[in-house]
């Protein structure tokens, strides 16, 4: 029982972590909690569905329920969602930043935008759950008493690969170093000749792209629904804050934490309360260690 | 009373109840700069507390205490205040967004509790036979609705003038000082955290009061009376009316609720029932877009805050 819960926790947690990276970076670099980020997951999932509609999900390959086509669709959807996120920034968030509005006005705008984005999905694709593929999968018993779908193992490995690549990118590439500098201190990095608007663009492209992948993964196991993103919103925030705002390993570890806590708690609490679990964890973190696991305490963050 | 007139009485009552919610939100956002993303959560806490305290006893229920109406209202305000205090004490010392996230979390949690804790909340079926004030004196529906409208107008007036009084007092000036320049206010010896917490708790308590008044009006309660969209509606009311102005908050409640109702009727008339979900989505999308445009183009709202430089500036 507990073994299965831990395994399920790691599997969902990896996807939450992937989605939380964008939340964490936005919060660090642009200093606001983006309530519409969860809808980028939904949009990514549905954009991939749109592409799959043209090229198909592919014949099942190597025990997976899909072929390379779905993977290609996911990558294309990630690029499109990144662009969408950047476009929304140009249309709304940048204008608000420029107008010198209270930074909470951005939070509120994101709140309204999230609602609009979610209902656009309902309008375009309807309420009903959708599937990329109708292939049935049988869970393999990887350890005694622990069953995992081949798709889930694939998603986990792919997520680890993406995070490792992103880590190398942020550590060694010029663009990555600029991003980290801007996150540390926007004013100082601007004085050093870093184009902060470019950093912001990259943040949206990366954050949106990762959100889309997370959205495709949640759509793959088990299904695609307009509420997919929104139901993960608290989990994303909790993961980002638990790991420490602005920290890449933090967001991933935070996601794993949230995923595991959620699934282990389900052993004792009714599944109806699942969505509240990340929030309980979040309150605990805010009481005990508000800067998160990997975060640094900052002054004047209000 | 004709159908239209009785509908207008109902409509006005809902506007007043939502007006109290918006006044509470205005205290938090308009005057103190606190972002409450879980308005519906506090509204639901008030409504459900009132229901649990006053509903007629029923076997298999933890609540349903059958207490009088006034006890229900007082209890609703107390429990809402306690919930707001708990969230506030944890998050107000931290980044401003954390209050937004936590209040959103409260709303989600409350929704799950109302749906899943059968013994306390009745689950999806909700609770019925909730205390309604003087329901034996005004025994026809029309007379009762008129009496309740008068009661609501009276309570709204108390809330409005009470808030105006508070906000024009030194306490209110400190709130605005903190919102504009926390550092300066703290340098003058004001405990910013305490003032913020007070404003947050009082504002949320008003939302709880409104929830209790709503439940006391319709006489039953279910999770579907407290949909997450209400948070968004309350914000729309405040932003459209003009945050930082209590008359604006009330005007916003009237304007936004009118638009919402009329567009809802239009959608139900124009869109075939088979596409009702899409129709409702269009309604939310249009209002959401209007709100974002309002933020971009006319952030002051319809009325907006009076900017007072100094009363002695013109002397």
Contact A104 B35 (CB under 8 A): yes
- Do the beta carbons of residue B182 and residue B14 sit within 8 Å? no
B302 domain-assigned: no
Number of domains in chain B: 1
Counting residues of chain A whose pLDDT is more than 90, the rounded percentage is: 35
User: What does the pLDDT read at residue B161?
Assistant: 95
Select the residue of B100, B112, B292 nearest A275 (Cβ to Cβ).
B112
Asked if B214 reaches chain A (Cβ–Cβ under 8 Å), the answer is no
Encode burial over B160-178: b for 16+ CB neighbours within 10 A, e otherwise: beebeebbeeeebebbbbb
Question: Which residue does chain A place closest to B107, by CA atoms?
Answer: A276
- Predicted confidence (pLDDT) at residue A206 exceeds the cutoff of 50: yes
Retrieve residue B159's tokens.
């809330």
The predicted pLDDT at position B310 comes to: 58
B287 within some domain: no
Range of B12's domain?
3-227
ipTM confidence score: 0.86
Q: What pLDDT, on a 0 to 100 scale, did the predictor assign at position B315?
A: 52
Question: What single string gives the DSSP state of each residue in B177-233?
Answer: HHHH-HHHHHHTT--HHHHHHHHHHHHHHHHHHHHHHHHHHHS-B-GGGS-THHHHH
Are the CB atoms for A75 and B2 separated by under 8 Å?
no
User: Which of A167, A208, A202, A168 lies closest to A79 in space, CA to CA?
Assistant: A208
pLDDT digits 0-9 by tens, A25-78? 998 888 888 999 999 999 999 999 999 888 877 777 777 777 788 888 999 999
Residue B118 in any domain: the answer is yes
Arithmetic mean of pLDDT, B191-211: 93
Q: Which residue, among A229, A281, A283, A284, has the nearest Cα to A257 in the 3D structure?
A: A281
Q: What is this structure's pTM? A: 0.88
Does residue B258 have a cis bond before it (omega within 30 degrees)?
no
Q: How many degrees, rounded to 5, is the angle at CA B280 between CA B278 and CA B283?
A: 110
Phi-psi region of A69 (alpha: psi -120 to 50; beta: other; left: phi over 0): alpha
Measured from the Cβ of residue A270, the count of other Cβ atoms closer than 10 Å reads: 11
Q: How confident is the model at residue A302 (pLDDT cuts 50, 70, 90)?
A: very low
Sort out which chain A residues have CB atoms less than 8 A from B104's CB and list them: 35, 233-234
In a domain, B29, yes or no: yes
A271: Cβ–Cβ under 8 A, 6 or more apart, which residues?
Answer: none
Q: How far is CA B235 from CA B125, B161, B238, in A?
A: 28, 21, 5
- When the pLDDT of each residue in chain A is averaged and rounded to a whole number, the result is 86
How far B116 CA sits from the closest chain A CA (Å)?
6
Burial B122-148 (b: 16+ CB within 10 A, else e): bbeebbeebbbbeeeebeeeeebbbbb
How many other CB atoms sit within 10 Å of the CB of residue A87? 12
CB contact under 8 A, A35 and B37: yes
Size of interface A-B (CB pairs under 8 A): 122
Highest averaged pLDDT of the listed ranges A278-287, B72-81, B271-280, B300-309: B72-81
How many angstroms separate the CA atoms of A53 and B49, rounded?
49
Report the DSSP pairing between strands A140-143 and A146-148. antiparallel
Name the most confidently modeled range: A57-66, A200-209, B293-302: A200-209
Question: Which range among A230-244, A254-268, A284-298, B107-121 shows the weakest confidence by mean pLDDT?
Answer: A284-298
From B94, which residue of chain A is nearest by alpha-carbon distance?
A: A302
Q: Which domains does chain A have, with CATH numbers?
A: 2-288 (1.10.3470)
pLDDT tens-place string over residues B110-164: 999 988 888 788 888 888 777 778 777 777 888 888 889 999 999 999 999 999 9
Q: Are B205 and B194 in contact (CB under 8 A)?
A: no
List Cβ neighbours of A248 (8 Å cut-off, separation of 6 or more). A21, A24, A163, A166, A167, A170
State the nearest Cα–Cα gap between B109 and chain A, in angstroms. 5
Res A100 pLDDT > 80: no
Residue B259 in any domain: the answer is no
Tell whether B150 is within 8 A of chain A (Cβ): no
The Cα A5–Cα A148 span in angstroms is 11
pLDDT number for residue B151: 92
pLDDT, tens digit (0-9, with 9 covering 90-100), for B96-108: 788 889 999 999 9
Residue B260 lies in a domain: no
Residues of A at the B interface, defined by Cβ within 8 angstroms: 27, 32-33, 35, 92, 95-96, 99, 101-105, 107-109, 111-113, 115-116, 119-120, 122-123, 126-127, 233-234, 237, 241, 270, 272-273, 275-276, 279-280, 282-283, 286-287, 290, 301-302
Residue of chain A whose alpha carbon sits nearest to that of B90: A287
B288 touches chain A (CB under 8 A): yes
- Per-residue confidence band for B60, with pLDDT thresholds at 50, 70 and 90: confident
In sequence order, what are the residues at sequence separation of 6 or more whose Cβ sits closer than 8 angstroms to the Cβ of residue A257? A13, A239, A242, A243, A281
Distance CA B114, CA A122 (A): 25
Per-residue tokens: A26: 């936005």
Handedness of CA B161, B163, B167, B170 (dihedral sign): positive
Nearest chain B residue to A226 by CA: give it.
B281
Distance (Å, whole) CA B197 – CA B92: 7
Enumerate the residues of chain A whose CB falls inside 8 A of the CB of residue B298. Answer: none
Taking CB atoms and an 8 Å limit, are B284 and A273 in contact across chains? no
pLDDT at B43 over 90: yes
The most confident of the ranges A123-132, A246-255, B199-208 is B199-208
Residue B258, domain member (yes or no): no
Mutate to test the interface with A, among B32, B101, B296 (most CBs of A within 10 A): B101
Look at the block and give the residue holding tokens 């929304």.
A88
Q: Is the pLDDT of residue B298 over 80?
A: no
By CA distance, what is B285's nearest residue in A? A116
Please give the average per-residue pLDDT across B74-90, as a whole number.
Answer: 93
**Alpha carbon distances (Å) from A121 to A77, A78, A228:** 15, 17, 11
Residues of A in contact with B244 (CB under 8 A): none
For residue B134, being part of any structural domain is answered with yes
């Amino acid at each position: 029982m507990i073994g299965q819960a831990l395994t399920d926790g790691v599997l969902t947690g990896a996807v939450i972590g992937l989605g939380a990276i964008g939340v964490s970076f936005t919060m660090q670099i642009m200093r606001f909690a983006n309530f519409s980020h969860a809808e980028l997951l939904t949009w990514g999932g549905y954009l991939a569905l749109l592409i799959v509609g043209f090229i198909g999900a592919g014949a099942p390959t190597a025990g997976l329920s899909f072929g390379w086509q779905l993977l290609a669709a996911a990558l294309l959807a990630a690029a499109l969602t990144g662009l969408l996120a950047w476009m929304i920034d140009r249309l709304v968030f940048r204008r608000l930043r420029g107008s010198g509005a209270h930074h909470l006005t951005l939070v509120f705008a994101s709140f309204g935008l999230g609602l609009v984005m979610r209902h656009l999905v309902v309008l375009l694709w309807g309420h009903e759950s959708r599937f990329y593929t109708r292939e049935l999968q049988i869970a393999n018993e990887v350890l005694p008493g622990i069953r995992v779908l081949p798709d889930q193992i694939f998603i986990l490995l792919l997520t680890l690969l993406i995070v490792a690549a992103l880590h190398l990118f942020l550590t060694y590439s010029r663009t990555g170093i600029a991003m980290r500098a801007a996150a540390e201190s926007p004013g100082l990095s601007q004085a050093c000749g870093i184009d902060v608007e470019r950093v912001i663009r990259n943040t949206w492209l990366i954050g949106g792209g990762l959100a889309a992948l997370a959205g495709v993964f949640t759509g793959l196991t088990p299904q695609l629904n307009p509420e997919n993103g929104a139901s993960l919103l608290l989990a994303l925030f909790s993961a980002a804050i638990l790991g420490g705002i602005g920290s890449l390993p933090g967001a991933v570890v935070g996601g794993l934490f949230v995923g595991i806590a959620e699934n282990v708690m389900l052993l004792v609490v009714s599944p109806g309360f699942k969505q509240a679990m990340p929030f309980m964890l979040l309150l605990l973190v805010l009481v005990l260690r508000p800067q998160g696991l990997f975060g640094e305490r900052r002054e004047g963050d209000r | 009373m004709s159908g239209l007139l009785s509908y207008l009485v109902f409509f006005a009552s809902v506007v007043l109840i939502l007006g109290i919610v918006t006044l509470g939100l205005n205290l938090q956002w308009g005057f103190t700069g606190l972002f409450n993303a879980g308005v519906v959560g506090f509204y639901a806490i008030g409504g459900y507390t009132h229901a649990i305290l006053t509903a007629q006893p029923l076997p298999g229920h933890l609540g349903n205490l059958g207490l009088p109406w006034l006890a229900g209202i007082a209890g609703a305000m107390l429990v809402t205040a306690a919930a707001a205090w708990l969230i506030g004490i944890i998050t107000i010392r931290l980044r401003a967004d954390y209050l937004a996230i936590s209040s959103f979390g409260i709303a989600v949690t409350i929704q799950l509790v109302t749906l899943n804790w059968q013994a306390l909340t009745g689950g999806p079926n909700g609770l019925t036979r909730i205390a309604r004030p003087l329901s034996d004196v005004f025994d026809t529906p029309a007379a009762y609705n008129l009496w309740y409208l008068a009661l609501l107008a009276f309570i709204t007036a108390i809330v409005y003038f009470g808030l105006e009084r508070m906000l024009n007092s030194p306490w209110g000036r400190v709130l605005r000082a903190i919102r504009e320049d926390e550092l300066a206010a703290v340098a003058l010896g004001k405990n910013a955290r305490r003032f913020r917490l007070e404003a947050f708790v009082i504002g949320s308590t008003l939302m709880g009061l409104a929830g209790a008044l709503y439940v006391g009006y319709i006489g039953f309660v279910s999770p579907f009376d407290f949909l997450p969209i209400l948070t968004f509606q309350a914000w729309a009311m405040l932003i459209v009316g003009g945050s930082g102005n209590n008359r604006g908050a009330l005007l916003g409640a009237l304007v936004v609720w009118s638009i919402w109702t009329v567009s809802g009727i239009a959608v139900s008339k124009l869109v075939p029932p088979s596409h009702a979900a899409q129709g409702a989505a269009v309604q939310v999308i249009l209002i959401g877009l209007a709100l974002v445009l309002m933020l971009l183009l006319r952030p002051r709202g319809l009325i907006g805050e009076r900017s007072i430089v100094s009363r002695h500036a013109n002397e």
